[in-house]
């Protein structure tokens, strides 16, 4: 007795919900708009910065003056496959990963 009345109550609601597709799409519209705004405000600029950083790292050459993520300033002395040797003082050379270089400084800025 209870089961048949439960089915009877849900049947019209299910039929009405499946027929109104426009209201479901309208309900998802704010979510889609938030994703589009998030893409243009956060994701796209981050991808652009990553692309510029990769191009800068690929263009490193011996003699470039660089700043690292750790705050070291020095001159590139040797470049390996994934590493860079940077002279930070006379006779002091450190080996860093290429990705640790954050900025290439203008020539003559370390003197």
pLDDT band (50, 70, 90) for residue 74? very high
With a cut of 70, say whether residue 2 has pLDDT above it: no
Residue 86 to residue 76: CA distance in whole angstroms: 4
CB 110 within 8 A of CB 65: yes
- Predicted confidence (pLDDT) per residue in 24-44, tens digit: 888 899 999 999 999 999 999
pLDDT band (50, 70, 90) for residue 90? very high
Q: Can you tell me whether residue 92 is helix, strand or coil? A: strand
Closest CA to 100 of 42, 47, 60: 60
Residue 99 to residue 95: CA distance in whole angstroms: 12
Domains, in order of start, for the chain: 2-55 (no CATH), 61-105 (2.30.30.60)
Q: What is the pLDDT of residue 24?
A: 84
- At a CB cut-off of 8 Å and minimum separation 6, what does 7 contact? none
């Amino acid at each position: 007795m209870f089961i048949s009345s439960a089915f009877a109550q849900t049947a019209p609601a299910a039929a009405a919900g499946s027929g109104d597709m426009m209201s479901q799409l309208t309900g998802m519209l704010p979510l889609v708009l938030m994703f589009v705004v998030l893409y243009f405000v956060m994701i796209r600029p981050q991808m652009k910065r990553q692309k510029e950083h990769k191009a800068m790292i690929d263009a490193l050459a011996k003699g470039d003056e660089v700043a690292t993520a750790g705050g070291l300033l020095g001159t590139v002395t040797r470049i390996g496959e994934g590493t860079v040797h940077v002279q930070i003082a006379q006779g002091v050379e450190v080996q860093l990963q290429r990705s640790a270089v954050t900025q290439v400084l203008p020539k003559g800025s370390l003197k």
